[in-house]
């Protein structure tokens, strides 16, 4: 019924009946339910048809009722987004928090943000799903793999919860609504407090064995480099994360404790900041060249707060990419800034929850599990039986 109204716009009961083939009674019952949720509203046309009596009531979707919710639990912030039954974005919101905030508080913050966005109550009755991005590899794009957090989210939101890596979800969003829309082969890199990415290969979001893919931040670039929180050494993240760049800036005598200070120094032509960003950009470009030669993207999208410093970083990225990419790729490979900002991960969660993107066609089929208290971690087979996501324990 919702699909018909989405495809055809407002219809009267007769038109709906013809198109859906339901009996008069079933149609009446279904419509009553939908009208009660507020997802479907009844409207009288402004003008009555000529030469007729009472104008026919039109039934339409209520664009303010959310049908899918995306949540991105980033390292230092929660972002949420929602789409309505019309599949248009209702809105998005986000709030920073201290690193290491307990999971219960992060979930509560997400809930506050979502309720602010889509209002209370009835939207839950038409909720298709909640797509949730978390840091680290996720084995299955389904509830149950992160049993504690998944169950808690299911209880709070009352809909099926699908979990995935948040940077891969950002790649999904950039390929759905952002800088790589329509590109069959794309590589996404996010430069934030963590460094990660996502791969779209042959028109589909690539998940990788055990949900490991897009871990670009953990590609070693300096075997003798600094220890990384993944347990490795000299990973790209130890060079190109916001924290790493700010630390290196201060170590070289730069003054500034945060990204706006660094951006101001760059703006003022500070040679320490510019030289540093050149080195960092070169390392990033080398990694992207290596991956491009192996994977063959048409477009590389760079997002995350660090990318906002622009040309002083992205120029050297482009130079190193050109130097390292096979000749045939050099003039065909485009480097683009991300288009969706810090809400990309949450928007990717929405796309995951809707589950209708061709980009997800090789993802494990989502089997929606209705709502509350669904903490049956074992029911999704092998992947679910062995939770694989390294996360702060639920507090």
How far apart are CB 222 and a second copy at their closest, in Å? 11
In this complex, which beta carbon is closest to a second copy, that of residue 85 or of residue 389? Answer: 389
Alpha-carbon gap, residue 186 to 125, rounded angstroms: 36
Give the relative orientation of helices 259-267 and 271-295 as an angle to the nearest 10 degrees: 110
Least Cβ distance, residue 382 to a second copy (angstroms): 12
Torsional class of 387: left (φ above 0), alpha (ψ -120 to 50), beta (otherwise): beta
Shortest gap between Cβ of 333 and a second copy (angstroms)? 8
Tokens standing for residue 62: 């209520």
* CA dist., res. 303 & res. 333, Å (int): 17
Give the number of other Cβ atoms within 10 Å of residue 43's Cβ. Answer: 10
Nearer to a second copy, 115 or 233 (CB): 233
Q: With contact defined as beta carbons under 8 Å apart, do 122 and 77 qualify?
A: no
Q: Which of 143, 213 has the CB closer to a second copy?
A: 213
Cβ closest to a second copy, residue 40 vs residue 216: 216
Helix intervals (H) in the chain:
2-8, 13-20, 24-37, 103-118, 147-157, 166-176, 237-240, 242-251, 259-267, 271-295, 311-324, 327-330, 344-354, 381-385
Q: State the nearest-atom distance from the C-beta of 207 to a second copy, in Å.
A: 7
Nearer to a second copy, 126 or 240 (CB): 240
Structure tokens belonging to residue 330 = 């050099």
Closest distance between a second copy and the C-beta of residue 237, in Å? 11
Instruction: Compare residues 102 and 381 and give the one whose CB is closer to a second copy.
Output: 381
Q: What are phi and psi of 211, to 5 degrees?
A: 70, 15
| Nearest distance from C-beta of residue 173 to a second copy, angstroms | 19
Comparing CB distances to a second copy, the nearer of 128 and 207 is 207
Residue numbers at the binding site for a second copy (CB under 8 A): 137, 184-185, 197, 199, 201-204, 206-216, 218-220, 223, 230-232, 286-287, 289-298, 323-324, 326-329, 332-333, 362, 388, 390
CB of 217 to a second copy, least distance (A): 8
């Amino acid at each position: 019924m919702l699909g018909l109204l989405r495809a055809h716009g407002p219809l009267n009961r007769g038109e709906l009946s013809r198109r859906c083939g339901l009996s008069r009674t079933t149609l009446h019952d279904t419509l009553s339910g939908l009208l009660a949720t507020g997802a479907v509203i009844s409207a009288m046309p402004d003008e009555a048809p000529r030469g007729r009596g009472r104008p026919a009531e039109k039934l339409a979707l209520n664009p303010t009722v959310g049908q899918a919710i995306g949540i991105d639990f980033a390292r230092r912030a929660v972002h949420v987004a929602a789409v309505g039954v019309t599949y248009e974005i209702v809105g998005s919101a986000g709030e920073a928090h201290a690193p290491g905030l307990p999971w219960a508080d992060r979930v509560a913050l997400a809930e506050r943000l979502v309720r602010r966005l889509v209002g209370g109550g009835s939207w839950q009755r038409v909720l298709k799903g909640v797509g949730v991005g978390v840091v680290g590899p996720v084995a299955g794009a389904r509830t149950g793999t992160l049993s504690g957090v998944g169950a808690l989210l299911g209880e709070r939101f009352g809909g099926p919860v699908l979990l995935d890596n948040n940077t891969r979800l950002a790649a999904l969003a950039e390929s759905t609504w952002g800088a790589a829309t329509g590109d069959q082969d794309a590589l996404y890199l996010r430069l934030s407090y963590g460094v990660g990415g996502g791969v779209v290969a042959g028109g589909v979001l690539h998940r990788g064995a055990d949900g490991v893919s897009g871990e670009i931040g953990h590609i070693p670039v300096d075997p003798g480099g600094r220890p990384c929180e993944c347990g490795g050494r000299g990973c790209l993240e130890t060079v190109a994360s916001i924290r790493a760049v700010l630390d290196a800036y201060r170590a070289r005598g730069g003054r500034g404790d945060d990204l706006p200070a660094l951006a101001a120094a760059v703006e003022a032509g500070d040679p320490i900041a510019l030289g540093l960003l050149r080195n960092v950009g070169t390392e990033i470009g080398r990694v992207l060249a290596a991956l491009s030669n192996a994977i063959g993207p048409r477009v590389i999208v760079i997002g995350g707060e660090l990318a906002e410093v622009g040309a002083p970083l992205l120029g050297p990225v482009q130079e190193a990419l050109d130097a390292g990419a096979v000749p045939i790729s050099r003039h065909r490979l485009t480097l683009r800034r991300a288009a969706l900002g810090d809400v990309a991960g949450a928007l990717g969660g929405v796309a995951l929850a809707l589950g209708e993107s061709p980009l997800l066609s090789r993802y494990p089929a989502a089997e929606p599990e209705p709502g509350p208290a669904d903490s049956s971690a074992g029911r999704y087979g092998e992947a679910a039986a062995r939770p694989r996501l390294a996360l702060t324990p639920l507090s």
